[in-house]
């Protein structure tokens, strides 16, 4: 999927092969595309941005594996990149699904101004947007960090508590190539979405903060 070392780490983790919990801080070149990132796996941190490795390490106290989560580090990195940090998210992943979904999707080209779609477009390229037949849910799939396939979804209030979020997440897995993995970023406090994505076969692989690139 392109994206070099970071893409390889993400793809491997999506298939159950996680980085060693070795306390290492890896500083990698910017993956290009729409975002730079801080990605943390279990006891293994990756900063993917065009900053010097020694400067990053100097900002992180030795042995403190949670230091990157402090706003001071994120704002330092954002200033260096001329960006702003996005939210801290839980990252989940699942392999592509080849069986047809149990949800009829309608591809849409008229939702550019939808809040969920506009946000998705800030972080992803090659965006495709779908709704269910009843127009109660919106699903967007595109290429995000390090070229990985990502999706996001939203369910209207009147469509909630019916399993629609889970069905949208399952359907998203059918919209990527058979050998690909699909990733979701969910705010840890958004318990409803976390449950829906878990129920659709996704598994947590780490956490991250994205930094949108200028232009």
Q: How far apart are CA 165 and CA 152, in angstroms?
A: 10
Query: What distances in angstroms separate CA 41 from CA 18, 44, 107, 171, 201, one per listed residue?
Result: 8, 5, 34, 27, 19
- Statement: residue 2 has pLDDT above 80: no
Bridge partners of residue 9, in order along the sequence: none
Task: Tell whether 156 and 105 lie within a shared domain.
Answer: yes
- Statement: residue 1 has pLDDT above 50: no
Pairing between β-strand 88-95 and β-strand 24-28 as defined by DSSP bridges: unpaired
Is residue 212 domain-resident? no
Task: Tell whether 41 and 122 lie within a shared domain.
Answer: no
Task: Domain count for the chain, please give it.
Answer: 2
Is residue 119 domain-resident? yes
- Domain finish residue from 89, 110, 137: 89
Query: 65 with 101: CB under 8 angstroms?
Result: no
**Model confidence over 88-109: pLDDT tens digits?**
999 999 999 988 888 999 999 9
pLDDT band at 161 (very low <50, low <70, confident <90, very high): confident
User: Token pair of 113, please?
Assistant: 């101004």
Q: How far apart are CA 84 and CA 9, in angstroms?
A: 24
Residue 161 belongs to domain with CATH number: 3.40.630.30
**Model confidence over 116-153: pLDDT tens digits?**
999 999 999 999 999 999 999 999 999 999 999 999 99
Task: Tell whether 135 and 177 lie within a shared domain.
Answer: yes
- Statement: residue 214 has pLDDT above 80: no
Q: How far apart are CA 164 and CA 126, in angstroms?
A: 24
Task: Tell whether 97 and 184 lie within a shared domain.
Answer: yes
- Domain finish residue from 89, 107, 138: 89
User: Token pair of 112, please?
Assistant: 């550019």
Task: Tell whether 97 and 85 lie within a shared domain.
Answer: no
Is residue 213 domain-resident? no
Parent domain of 157: 92-205
DSSP 7-18: HHHHHHHHTT-P
SS3 for 129-190, per residue? EEEECCCCEEEEEEECHHHCEEEEEEECHHHCCCCHHHHHHHHHHHHCCCCCEEEEEECCCC
Is residue 210 domain-resident? no
Task: Tell whether 138 and 149 lie within a shared domain.
Answer: yes
Task: Tell whether 123 and 83 lie within a shared domain.
Answer: no
User: Token pair of 28, please?
Assistant: 């990698």
- Statement: residue 3 has pLDDT above 70: no
Average pLDDT over residues 158-175: 93
Three-state secondary-structure class, residue 213: coil
Average pLDDT over residues 151-162: 91
Is residue 155 domain-resident? yes
Task: Tell whether 105 and 130 lie within a shared domain.
Answer: yes
């Amino acid at each position: 999927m392109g994206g070099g070392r970071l893409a390889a780490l993400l793809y491997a983790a999506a298939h159950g092969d996680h980085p060693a919990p070795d306390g290492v801080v890896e500083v990698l070149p910017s993956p290009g595309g729409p975002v730079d990132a801080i990605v943390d796996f279990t006891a293994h941190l990756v900063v993917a941005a065009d900053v010097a490795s020694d400067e990053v390490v100097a900002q992180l106290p030795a042995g403190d594996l949670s230091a990157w989560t402090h706003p001071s580090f994120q704002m330092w990195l954002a200033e260096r990149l001329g960006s702003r940090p996005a939210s801290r998210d839980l990252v989940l992943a699942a392999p592509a699904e080849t069986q047809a979904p149990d949800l009829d999707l309608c591809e849409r080209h008229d939702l550019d101004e939808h809040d969920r779609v506009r946000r998705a477009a800030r972080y992803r390229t090659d965006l495709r947007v779908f709704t269910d037949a009843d127009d109660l849910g919106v699903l967007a799939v595109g290429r995000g960090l390090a070229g990985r396939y990502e999706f996001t979804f939203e369910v209207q209030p009147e469509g909630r508590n019916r399993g629609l979020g889970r069905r949208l997440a399952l359907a998203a897995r059918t919209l990527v190539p058979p050998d690909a993995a699909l990733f979701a970023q969910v705010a840890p406090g958004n318990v409803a979405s976390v449950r829906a994505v878990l129920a659709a076969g996704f598994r947590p692989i780490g956490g991250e903060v994205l930094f949108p690139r200028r232009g």
